[in-house]
Structure 1
Amino acid sequence: MKDIINIKKLIHDYQKYNEDGKVESTYRAVDEVSLDVQPGQFIAILGHNGSGKSTLAKHLNAILLPTEGTVYVDGKDTRDEEKIKEIRQTAGMVFQNPDNQIIGTVVDEDVAFGPENMGVPSEEIEKRVEEGLKTVEMWEYRSHSPNKLSGGQKQRVAIAGVVAMHPKCIVLDEPTAMLDPVGRKEVIQAAWKLNKEEHVTIILITHYMEEVTSADQVIVMDQGKVLMQGTPKEVFSRVEELKEHRLDVPQVTMLAHELRKSGLNIPEGILTREELIEELVKLKTTADAEGGAICP
């Protein structure tokens, strides 16, 4: 199966110039990152501020171009200027602040903006607007002003606008960073629905660990490099190493880790409340059968 995203030894340097237009300093934001993403995957990229994850995200939509290395989106080199339009239609982008993405005065007009720019016929645009808004459960708000929506609703409208362009991949660059817990849940549920029902490849950039426990792959970045890569269970089993790099783990994973340190025979990599309860019930059942206690 051909990769939807193929990155080889990507380097991105930001340069600061002095008043004479000469390079004063260089900061390496992404340092030899390689990554392959297959169609239909849900990929999560984690890291604290300054880790390089948002810079990486902007390469997936050709907003930024490599200083060194290569980025291919659906087989197209992001350095190829003639392919930029196709690349941006293939990999849609949703940013952190929904207010910076919504330009229409009415919700359905805003969602129609992308397809209109692509030259999609009017009848087809109407279908795509309905499809996009229904996918994120915002159809009933189609005639509303975006200014009267909540943060989570605005972000879902932004996602609908990308969906209406029929991308194969959607890159969400910290889409829940400015939202309250309800808004975060709405947006993440919309992303999962697109992935599972529409088979859209999702690349989620976030620092909320609980949002990624069901992802196919988790990539952890630090200082521009890939620090860890694997399934959520594999990555979040490395609690102490993540803590050393000032990174969190899901709360239930941390609780299970602390219980394990206290002597309970609980496996590493617990990701959900249900998993933890199941392990505790097993311990209780075994202890009752042996006439002992859960703790040694």
Structure 2
Amino acid sequence: MGIIKTSKLIFDYIRKDEEENIEEIKRAIDGVSVDIEAGKFVAILGHNGSGKSTFAKHLDAILLPTEGTVWIQDLDTSKEENLWEVRKRTGMVFQNPDNQIIGNVVEEDVGFGPENLGVPTEEIWKRVEESLKGVGMAAYRLKSPNKLSGGQKQRVAIAGVMAMRPQCIVLDEPTAMLDPNGRAEVVRTVRELNKKEGITVILITHYMEEVIHADRVIVMDEGKIVMDGTPREIFSRVEELKSYRLDVPQVTELAYELQKNGVDLPDGILTLEELMEKLLPMFAERFPGKVTLGNGVDNGD
């Protein structure tokens, strides 16, 4: 069994009236079974209302199953005696960092989590230093979070989770409120933590470019898993993704349109470098003497 496993997971949102009579039942997760290996970077995609954020909240036992089971390692999240250990092993980073940052100084905020876990003071400060270095925010440790940009705040929130030494980090649309530079900062930080520290990362997002380096992509729709594979496998199925109201990375879309117009390109191109690697030989063959491979385009006389 992987670090995270769910079996036939069902979750219903139940709305009741003032007299506690059930007015509406809305199924948000519908029979999801998934097994995620330790150390992997897994992205979960889906349009608004697909169930991806509800699923994320089950991984830290913020929500408990209506039916089925969620295990974090070998711990059943629905058992109250496991709650403390589950939340030590899985850290959550939410969409708005302002909802997660509570300290008046960056280093105090990062140390808040391990302090609540009863970590000795000397060890707390060691973890604070290591975590801030890990997200590139050590120079800001004495700053007020209010003086930071959105991307910097989100990196501080990630450092706060890191300081608790979880084995898995779940990020629920952590870049949704950030500008492109802030999004790039956060995604770069998460990728480095995954590669260097071996931490399992679950990234919930609707930005397609954020997932091209993931090990695995899961697509959800109406509470179900409808696609599951590598980024290349998933983004090779452009029309199917669009049927679930999702886009593909811009360069993948461009390559797909070129394909439809007769250009011989493979499915699932993910980066601009990859696209140019395929296109330049075609241009060189069609316009001899005008294109120099590896040196860009030679405009001639």
Give TM-score, length-normalised by structure 1. Answer: 0.96
Paired residue for 2:60? 61
Paired residue for 2:258? 259
Paired residue for 1:165? 164
CA distance in 1, matches of 2:230, 2:284: 30
- 1:164 shift after superposition: 0.2
Q: SS at 2:166's partner residue?
A: coil
- 1:83 shift after superposition: 0.9
CA deviation vs aligned residue, 1:101-121 (integer Å, no higher than 9, x gap): 000000000000000000000
CA-atom RMSD, angstroms? Answer: 1.0
> Which amino acid in structure 2 is aligned with residue 169 of structure 1?
C
CA distance in 1, matches of 2:8, 2:244: 22
Q: SS at 1:62's partner residue?
A: coil
Paired residue for 2:292? none
- 1:31 shift after superposition: 0.6
On the 8 A contact 2:47/2:244 being kept in 1, the answer is: no
> Which amino acid in structure 1 is aligned with residue 214 of structure 2?
A
CA deviation vs aligned residue, 1:175-214 (integer Å, no higher than 9, x gap): 0000011110111011011000000000000000000001
Check if 1:32 corresponds to 2:31: yes
Paired residue for 1:197? 196
- 1:287 shift after superposition: 4.4
CA distance in 2, matches of 1:44, 1:282: 33
> Which amino acid in structure 2 is aligned with residue 245 of structure 1?
Y
- 1:282 shift after superposition: 3.1
CA deviation vs aligned residue, 1:246-267 (integer Å, no higher than 9, x gap): 1100000000000000000111
Identity of aligned residues (%): 65
- 1:268 shift after superposition: 1.0
CA distance in 2, matches of 1:32, 1:272: 34
Paired residue for 2:14? 15
Paired residue for 1:293? none
- 1:288 shift after superposition: 6.0
- 1:242 shift after superposition: 1.0
Paired residue for 2:115? 116
Alignment of 1:8-157 (within 5 A): 8-157=7-156
> Which amino acid in structure 2 is aligned with residue 254 of structure 1?
E
> Which amino acid in structure 2 is aligned with residue 134 of structure 1?
K
CA deviation vs aligned residue, 1:31-82 (integer Å, no higher than 9, x gap): 1111111110000000111010000000000000001111000110001111
Paired residues in the alignment total 288
CA distance in 1, matches of 2:281, 2:94: 43
CA distance in 2, matches of 1:165, 1:244: 40
CA distance in 2, matches of 1:132, 1:36: 28
CA distance in 2, matches of 1:119, 1:241: 49
CA distance in 1, matches of 2:131, 2:34: 29
CA distance in 1, matches of 2:16, 2:109: 37
Check if 1:3 corresponds to 2:24: no
Further displaced range: 242-251 or 161-170? 242-251
CA distance in 2, matches of 1:230, 1:179: 27
Structure 2, unpaired ranges of 5+: 289-301
> Which amino acid in structure 1 is aligned with residue 252 of structure 2?
T
CA distance in 2, matches of 1:232, 1:284: 28
Paired residue for 1:271? 270
> Which amino acid in structure 1 is aligned with residue 105 of structure 2?
V
- 1:225 shift after superposition: 0.8
Check if 1:246 corresponds to 2:248: no
CA distance in 1, matches of 2:23, 2:274: 53
